[in-house]
Amino acid sequence: MEIRNVIIIGGGPAGLSAALYTARAGLKPLVLAGSPPGGQLMLTTEVENFPGYEEIMGPDLIQTLRKQVLKFGTEILDDNVKEIVTSSHPFTIKTHKTEYSTKAVIIATGAQAMWLGLESETRLRGKGVSACATCDGFFFKNKIVAVVGGGDTAMEEAQTLAKFAKKVYLIHRKDSFRASKIMQVRVRENPKIEIIMNTSITKVLGEQKVEGVELVVSHQPSAVSRLKLDGVFIAIGHKPDTAVFKDTILLDKKGYIVTSAVAALDIAKNIPRPDGVMFDYTYQSMTSVPGVFAAGDCVDHTYRQAGTAAGMGIASALDIERWIEKKEVI
């Protein structure tokens, strides 16, 4: 079996940026982009905050990145990984179609926003339904929008939207927030934000775009009302696509991959890590397994932007280039 220099798992901005740099370094990367490939950008309509583009559709941005990495000799396969074996080196990566042998791995599988699970929500995604105020808030200048959620993320989204929107409703299904006290104070003191507690969205209204929502009071299914809106932002959390790696590398309690950079921050915060887990702090993007690196939203639960994911992908590529060079010299 041919031994690859590097296999990149994930075909979003982190994975493709890593592919660009490793390809230009002559490492001939293989990208296992997933099926369907492209990550969250494939569900995004207009992108105005990716450097170099005044405006581009999410799927078009992915296609542009793919075209660029192919130019430099990257191989891309739209296949999903089902297992990674790191007990011996070179590593073995198994997909649903075949298996590969590789000196090093970059995991860039991203994360997915958690949704309410409504048919109307899915149908209007990208047409007024969003999971990212930083990405889409600008499109709702002087509009009326709602944020769904009760944690710090929902509070942050509401405050971000209040900079653009005329009115922001914060809708939470429970009678208390789980967000930090300081975040709650900031939201309650913002004159543009109105809080609606003990209430759930049962339907997003509109055919071609969001026109409102149908609400029901908790524990009172007959208490149905409607609220006119221009946009709905779901902020009930994100889930990293890392389940396949849970028995291979160290993940945090939410499933995000712990890299050496994250581990160093944890030490600074006095957050303990499991006994016996070691990190090589020479390479900030390396995971708990030497030779396995990670980048993008599967690591980052703070920023979650295409631009930051791309930057992390580049950093992991530079790390992996140095690691392979050092290992082969030794």
Integer Cα distance of 300 and 120 in angstroms: 29
Query: Is 227 within 8 Å of 215 (Cβ atoms)?
Result: yes
Q: Which of 78, 79, 135, 241 is catalytic?
A: 135
Chain centroid, CA 322 distance in Å: 26
Q: CA–CA separation, 136 vs 126, rounded Å?
A: 9
Q: Which two tokens stand for residue 41?
A: 């950008």
d(C-alpha 29, C-alpha 76), whole Å:
9
Q: How far is CA 153 from the centre of its chain?
A: 14
Q: Other C-beta atoms within 10 Å of 188: how many?
A: 12
Q: Strands across the sheet with 129-130, in order?
A: 129-130, 231-234, 144-148, 167-171, 193-196
136 is an active site residue: yes
The total of other beta-carbon atoms located within 10 Å of residue 48's CB is 12
Known catalytic residue at 132: yes
For residue 296, give the nearest of 281, 286, 306 by alpha carbon: 306
Catalytic site residue from 60, 78, 79, 136: 136
Question: Which one of 78, 79, 132, 300 is the catalytic residue?
Answer: 132
Catalytic residues: 132, 135-136
